[in-house]
Amino acid sequence: MNGVLVSAILLLALATVSVRRRSVAIAAVGLQSLLLGAGALTLVSGRSSGYLVASAVLAVKGVVAPALLYALMRQTREPRLVIAAHGPLVRLALTTAAALLGAVLTPSLGLADRHVERAAVALLVIGIMIVVLRRPALHQLLGLLVAENGLSLLAVSVPGGLSYVVELGALLDLVLVATVAGAFVHRIHLEFGTGDTEQLRGLRD
């Protein structure tokens, strides 16, 4: 996959960990999914139909998911800014360090393009870091999508393509999980008056 495209996908993931506004974060993840879809399309010619499936999968993630998340965001307005545990620069620095560490420490996965391997692992790590560092529930949901995009980047780069059954099955699972997570975000707002997951710390032993 084109190096510029992969870099843009990574930068958009890093933007998601640092931006304050939920709408900007949704747009960043949506654009990331679209770029990933475009990248998958460039791999289609003369290759397995699995790539076409992957592109369709990513288009759904790039258009439908962000639209639904935007609607969810409109229904769950925050009464005040959710105070972050760490500032944007600290979050960015921590995430970049973790992603670099993950990418460097990961042994060769066997793909022809080592950069794609490293970018995919970095995206997975960034997704995990978004969940760890961001307190709003909607941001944590976006973290899951970023991690999933890392796996999609790797999947479309498998020689001969990953089976379309796995691609479509993973999409269905993602849609199910995101739908349930969206419903939870809505419910958390109703119950707590905010999407701040710091409120979800009542269960202790």
Partner 1 sequence: MTELARILVPLAVGLPAAGALLIAFSRSARLCDNVARGAGVLAAAAGLALAAVALAGDGPASGHWYVVDGAGGLLLGVTAGVGLVSVLVSPGYLRSAGRSWVSSAAAHRLYYVALLAFWSALAACALAANLAVAWLIVEATTAASALLVTFSGSRGALEAGWKYLVLTTLGLSVALLGIIVLAVSQAKLGHHGLHALDWRAIHSAAPLLPRHTALFAFVLIVVGLASKVGWAPVHNWLPDAHSEAPAPVSAMLSAALLPSVVLVAWRARTALGAGLGAEAGSTVFIGFGLISILVAVPFLWKRLPWKRLLAYSSLEHMGVIALGIGFGTPLAVAGVVLHIAGHALAKALGFYASLPLLRGDRRLGHVAPSGVAAGSPLTASAMAVSLISLAGLPPSPLFISELLILLGGVAAGDVAVVVVAALALALGFLGLVHVLIEGVLGEPGAPRHAAGAHAPTHGGGQRTLALSVGLAAAGLIALAVCGVALPGSALIGGLMRGVG
Q: Give the residues lining the site for partner 1 (CB under 8 A).
A: 48, 107, 109-111, 120-121, 124, 127-128, 131, 137, 140, 144, 147-148, 150-151, 154-155, 158-163, 165-166, 169-170, 172-173, 176-177, 179-181, 184, 187-188, 191-192, 197, 200-203, 205
Tokens of 150: 């890392």
Nearer to partner 1, 18 or 197 (CB): 197
Nearer to partner 1, 96 or 197 (CB): 197
Closest separation in Å from C-beta 150 to partner 1: 8
Nearer to partner 1, 87 or 100 (CB): 100
Nearer to partner 1, 86 or 198 (CB): 198
What is the distance between the alpha carbons of residues 164 and 86, in angstroms, rounded to a whole number? 40
Closest separation in Å from C-beta 114 to partner 1: 12
Task: Residue 202: count other Cβ atoms within 10 Å of its Cβ.
Answer: 5
Dihedral angle over CA of 178, 181, 185, 190, nearest 10: 120
Closest separation in Å from C-beta 146 to partner 1: 10
C-beta of residue 34 within 8 angstroms of C-beta of residue 152: no
Dihedral angle over CA of 123, 71, 31, 115, nearest 10: 10
What is the distance between the alpha carbons of residues 145 and 160, in angstroms, rounded to a whole number? 24
Nearer to partner 1, 4 or 203 (CB): 203
